[in-house]
Amino acid sequence: MIQSTMQSGNLSLASLVDYSRKSFPEGKVRTWTGSDFRDITFAEIGAQGAQLAHALTAIGIGRGDRVATFMWNNNEHQVVYAAVPAMGAVLHTVNLRVSPEQAVFILNHAEDKVILVDASVAPMLSGYVAEAPGLRHVIVVNGPVDSFTAPDWVTVHSYEDFLAGHPTTYDWPDDIDERDAAVLCYTSGTTGDPKGVVYSHRSIYLHSLTATSTTGLGMSNRDTMLAIVPMFHVMSWGLPYAAMMCGATIIMPDRFLQPEPLLAMMEAGRPSLAAAVPTIWQGVMGQLRTAPQDISHLREVIVGGAAVPHSMIKAFDEFNAPITHAWGMTETSPLGSIARPPAGVDDPDEAFAFRVTQGRFPPLVAGRIVDEEGNELPWDGEASGELEVSGPWITGAYYQPDGNVSAPDKFRDGWLRTGDVATISPHGYMTIVDRTKDIIKTGGEWISSVELENAVMSNPVVLEATVIGVPDAKWDERPFVLAVVAGEEHADIEAHKAFLADLVPRWQIPERWSFVTEIPKTSVGKFDKKAVRSRYAEGGYQVHGKPAGE
């Protein structure tokens, strides 16, 4: 046996902050103000981050302590992203869109001592703080301190005053172990309490490196990335750290997440990349149809968080802004797979067939599909089973203050059970056909609710649609469609059934439909099937003839 002569080389965010400041001092983050950008350079982030680290140290924050944020995507959030893990503390990004009960739950569960809050959402946080007795310091960013009403055990600071007078350099520790905790994020699960995932310096470093790799996003020094996906949701898909690694410019929308301001910031900033969930892009496309604008500066539009409707890919192709579909979860940091056609596939139609899959696993993610007994299934594009993944940025447990838990229904032999049902082609392209719990079991056969949704939505008059299984006396379950259509005249079940006749097997065509003005969505913009089920599963779905609520 011989020993490697290589240095150990610590994968630490402390070294990343230092690297970005020295190698890309001119790199910048740009936050939209509603009419323009306010910029901060990576050199300034390094300096402001040093001040923040000193200020946090001064109020007693040390190794492993949680520092929470309740903030939009903006310059100051980027400073917190840089400084908190680099000083050895743990950044906890709180989702602005969870329910008050969930917010209180995670503030307490994470044992947050200090939280930075954007003034625009400070009133919302004020309502939770009395029930989170561990919180001692609230730092108000981008607005007046009096936007926050605090119990008397909480000290409220303004961000500027908090930083003022502290040195603009900090001797970032070089003894952080790469497997130490760096960022804590809770899943916005639709069932049960939110579950915490703790990313390590190692996991974030490797994920960022892959974001700059052609096996990931291929982000470079020459890119400008519009990071629409919130920093409170899986670290904005890792984009803030990836930008620091490669010196990309990053555009932060702050609270301006509606189609019009998004298009205004695209016009002003001309991003080469952009990342968001499908519902955001649906809105942007709607606005583009009304007020066309050149968006061909986008060399790639990254869409994840939910399946991309085929029609959306085609619509963006028309605008020369090609969509690349990626799959992931809070538990997977999130990059789990990405759908770029393989080398040699240049014909648009042939390429399209690959672009609508969830794509290939990147090198650091191992994936497999298994049957209900856990037996591995072949990569033949036919067999479908639960998707399981493993790798250095995949969670192996959920966070508990008294010891992380690895629940048997969520993990199997070191693999994360994703709850998705998928096929994998002989060339490694994974296609999610459904959630394990959303598969519709009818007369001994399975219907993929995802495929049926896609078929329903391929009708141009359908704006949105979701499909769930509902109890049926004869067939056990039958599909039920909840749809938003483009006008009362399209709320016609027979017309929709006729449309489907060429697209899906006859036995899959749903009998039960309901037309509404909006489909319930979760805090991260996905269809909330739990809410749909609780309202429609037991009946009431024979509504038709006109959109509900009209």
Catalytic residues: 187, 331, 441, 446
Least distance to a copy of itself, CB of residue 425, Å: 11
Touching a copy of itself, residues 427-486 (CB under 8 A):
427-428
DSSP H or E segment with residue 202: helix 201-211
398 binding a copy of itself? (CB under 8 A): yes
Return the range that interacts with a copy of itself (CB under 8 A); candidates 20-28, 139-147, 442-450, 483-491: 20-28
Cβ closest to a copy of itself, residue 203 vs residue 236: 203
> Which CB, 237 or 513, lies closer to a copy of itself?
237
Which CB atom, from 49 or from 391, has the smaller least distance to a copy of itself? 391
* Residue 353 interacting with a copy of itself (CB under 8 A): no
- Could you tell me the strand order of the sheet in which 137-141 lies? 90-93, 66-70, 114-118, 137-141, 155-158
| CA dist., res. 246 & res. 150, Å (int) | 40
Q: Which of 340, 344, 363, 360 lies closest to 352 in space, CA to CA?
A: 340
Q: Is 196 in the site for a copy of itself (CB under 8 A)?
A: yes
Token pair of 464 as six digits:
């949105």
| Binds a copy of itself (CB under 8 A): choice among 246, 421, 432, 509 | 246
Question: Which among 49-57, 130-138, 302-310, 422-430 is the span making contact with a copy of itself, rule CB under 8 A?
Answer: 422-430
Q: Which stretch binds a copy of itself (CB under 8 A): 32-40, 79-87, 212-220, 445-453?
A: 212-220
**Strand, coil or helix: what is 444?**
coil
| DSSP reduced 3-state for 284 | helix
Nearer to a copy of itself, 245 or 524 (CB): 245
**Binding flag, residue 383, a copy of itself (CB under 8 A):** no
Torsion angles phi and psi, residue 270, rounded to 5: 45, 60
Q: For residue 475, what are its two tokens?
A: 């067939």
Residue 226 contacts a copy of itself per CB under 8 A? no
Using rule CB under 8 A, residue 194 touches a copy of itself: no
Q: Which of residues 86-145 bind a copy of itself (CB under 8 A)?
A: 90
CB closer to a copy of itself out of 17 and 462: 17
Alpha carbon distances (Å) from 310 to 156, 278, 282: 48, 11, 12
Contacts of residue 121, Cβ cutoff 8 Å, sequence gap at least 6: 70, 71, 72, 96
Of residues 160-179, which lie at the interface with a copy of itself (CB under 8 A)? 179
DSSP 480-530: EEEEEESSGGG--HHHHHHHHTTTS-GGG--SEEEE-S---B-TTSSB-HH
Which of these ranges, 72-80, 214-222, 451-459, 506-514, lies near a copy of itself under the rule CB under 8 A? 214-222
**φ, ψ of residue 470 in degrees (nearest 5):** -125, 155
d(CA 66, CA 96) in angstroms, rounded, equals 17
Closer CB to a copy of itself, 259 or 367, in the complex: 367
Site for a copy of itself, residues 22 to 41, rule: CB under 8 A: 22-27
Which has the closest alpha carbon to 463: 257, 321, 285? 285
Phi, psi of 170 (to 5 degrees): -145, 135
34, 64, 144, 471: which one binds a copy of itself (CB under 8 A): 64
Segment lying near a copy of itself (by CB under 8 A), choices 112-120, 298-306, 421-429, 437-445: 421-429
State in angstroms the smallest separation of the CB of 242 from a copy of itself: 10
**How many residues line the site for a copy of itself (CB under 8 A)?**
80
